[in-house]
């Protein structure tokens, strides 16, 4: 009897086990079906959970003293400006206790995509990007977003992606406006009848900032163009007609040589060469020196405060440059980055704690996918009369003869 009872009990237990296993398998199958059916409904919850987890992870890293890594992607080393920015940013982040991975992309959009993909693979905590071409990073930044890596567009807005979280730059329209206002003042356009002749040289069409610079200058002077006080002998008054690919000095030189040969060879006077930045102004000044037959010295504008251009300002070959203080821009970028890396959401309340004057803007910079929250700094005009303002930044010093400025950076 005992053996029979044990056999019956074993059979009963085995049957119960098989029934239970069947219930688990059935439940898993049903759950798989439910997940597929409700994938779209659940995706927002999943993404929200990922975002929350990423924020908690950042906060945990900060509170526990973990060293976070910032990936910095700069466009090129061929322009002095980006050398200065890249090295200064690296120094500031490292001084604040972060690891830094800094890459320069030789003005090659494909290389920059590869550089950023490498940073994503290295699991950086934040990406800080000055884009070579703001229209070519969408897929790469989508990958960054999938990995929970936030992105700050530095100086140049990145277009057509919702993966850009913040934008730190100067008020780019104001850069052009300051150039236009300088021309207006120097020519006395409010009082003098003119006409004065002006030619425009704009920036790289792949740089989202370039149209802002051009429009700021052109729209400031438009009333005088419409009134006939300013004339454009070449007829080139659209951004597309005067854009300079890659901000190339050589291209700007060639374009101005062609303009001078076509419209000024008969002795027509050129009064203003309005250039959007210093690298193009350098080429334009070379063309004026070699190919312009007039006896006057045209006004030449610029932007950035490059050493060669500051020398030209002293020598009377360039009139002014609009300076965007990299130390201010880096300081604001550092504060925004600190907030992001600690799991916060930077907003207008951060402005009062910044080390430089800046405005928080949530209306102006639409990249085609979203309006990107922006921190915009204030640029200022540099002429031969206020070069000491650059020395005060700590990024420049006088040479031994106290005639020309030199960079204090080791990269120039």
2-54 pLDDT tens trace: 444 444 444 444 434 433 333 333 333 333 333 333 333 344 344 444 444 44
Range(s) of the domain holding residue 218: 172-303
CA distance linking residue 71 with residue 41, whole number of Å: 34
Name the one residue in this structure whose structure tokens are 């079906």: 33
162-206 pLDDT tens trace: 999 999 999 999 999 999 999 999 999 999 989 999 999 999 999
285 shares a domain with 335:
no
133 shares a domain with 82:
yes
CA distance linking residue 217 with residue 223, whole number of Å: 12
Which helix (H) or strand (E) segment holds residue 397: the answer is strand 396-398
User: Which of 303, 338, 365 finishes a domain?
Assistant: 303
What pLDDT was estimated at residue 80? 83
Residue 44 lies in a domain: no
The answer to whether residues 170 and 209 touch, using CB atoms and an 8 Å cutoff, is no
Average pLDDT over residues 322-346: 95
What pLDDT was estimated at residue 321? 98
Tell whether the model's pLDDT for residue 109 goes beyond 60.
yes
Q: Write the CB contacts of 143 (distance below 8 Å, at least 6 apart in sequence).
A: 117, 120
Q: Is 122 helix (H, G, I), strand (E, B) or coil?
A: coil
Predicted TM-score (pTM) of this structure:
0.78
355 shares a domain with 244:
no
Average pLDDT over residues 138-167: 97
What pLDDT was estimated at residue 410? 60
247-285 pLDDT tens trace: 999 999 999 999 999 999 999 999 999 999 999 999 999
Distances (CA, A) of 256 to 137, 228, 273: 32, 23, 9
Q: How many domains does the chain have?
A: 2
CA distance linking residue 128 with residue 35, whole number of Å: 36
Distances (CA, A) of 273 to 78, 178, 180, 189, 226: 24, 15, 11, 16, 18
**131: CATH:** 3.40.50.2300
357 shares a domain with 251:
no
299 shares a domain with 176:
yes
Among 179-183, 218-222, 305-309, 353-357, whose mean pLDDT is lowest? Answer: 353-357
395-405 pLDDT tens trace: 999 999 999 99
Residue 222 lies in a domain: yes
Half-sphere exposure of 84 (CA within 13 A, CB side): 22
């Amino acid at each position: 009897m005992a053996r029979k009872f044990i056999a019956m009990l074993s059979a009963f237990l085995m049957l119960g086990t098989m029934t239970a296993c069947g219930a688990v398998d059935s439940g898993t199958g049903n759950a798989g079906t439910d997940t597929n059916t409700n994938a779209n409904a659940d995706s927002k919850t999943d993404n929200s959970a990922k975002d929350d987890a990423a924020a908690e992870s950042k906060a945990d890293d900060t509170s526990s003293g973990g060293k976070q890594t910032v990936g910095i992607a700069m466009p090129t080393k061929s322009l002095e400006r980006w050398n200065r920015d890249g090295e200064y940013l690296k120094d500031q982040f490292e001084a604040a206790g972060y690891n830094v991975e800094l890459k320069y992309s030789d003005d090659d959009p494909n290389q920059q995509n590869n550089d950023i993909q490498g940073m994503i693979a290295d699991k950086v905590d934040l990406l800080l990007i000055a884009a070579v071409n703001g229209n070519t990073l969408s897929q790469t930044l989508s990958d960054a977003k999938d990995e929970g890596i936030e992105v700050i567009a530095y100086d140049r807005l990145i277009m057509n992606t919702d993966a850009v979280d913040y934008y730190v730059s100067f008020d780019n329209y104001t850069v052009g406006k300051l150039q236009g206002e300088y021309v207006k003042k120097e020519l006395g356009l409010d009082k003098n009848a003119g006409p004065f002749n002006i030619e425009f040289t704009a920036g790289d069409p792949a740089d989202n900032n370039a149209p802002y610079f051009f429009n700021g200058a052109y729209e400031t002077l438009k009333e005088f163009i419409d009134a006939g006080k300013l004339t454009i002998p070449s007829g080139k008054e659209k951004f597309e007609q005067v854009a300079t690919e890659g901000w190339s000095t050589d291209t700007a030189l060639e374009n101005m040589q062609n303009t001078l040969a076509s419209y000024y060879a008969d002795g027509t006077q050129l009064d203003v060469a309005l250039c959007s930045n210093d690298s193009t102004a350098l080429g334009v000044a070379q063309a004026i020196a070699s190919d312009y037959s007039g006896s006057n010295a045209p006004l030449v504008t610029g932007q950035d405060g490059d050493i060669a251009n500051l020398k030209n300002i002293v020598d009377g070959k360039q009139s002014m440059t609009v300076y965007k203080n990299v130390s201010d821009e880096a300081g604001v970028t550092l504060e925004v980055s600190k907030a992001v890396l600690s799991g916060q959401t930077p907003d207008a309340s951060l402005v009062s704690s910044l080390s430089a004057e800046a405005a928080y803007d949530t209306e102006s910079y639409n990249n085609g996918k979203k309006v990107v929250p922006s921190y915009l700094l204030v640029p200022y005009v540099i002429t031969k009369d206020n070069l000491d303002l650059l020395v005060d930044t700590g990024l420049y010093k006088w040479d031994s003869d106290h005639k020309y400025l030199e960079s204090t950076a080791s990269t120039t």
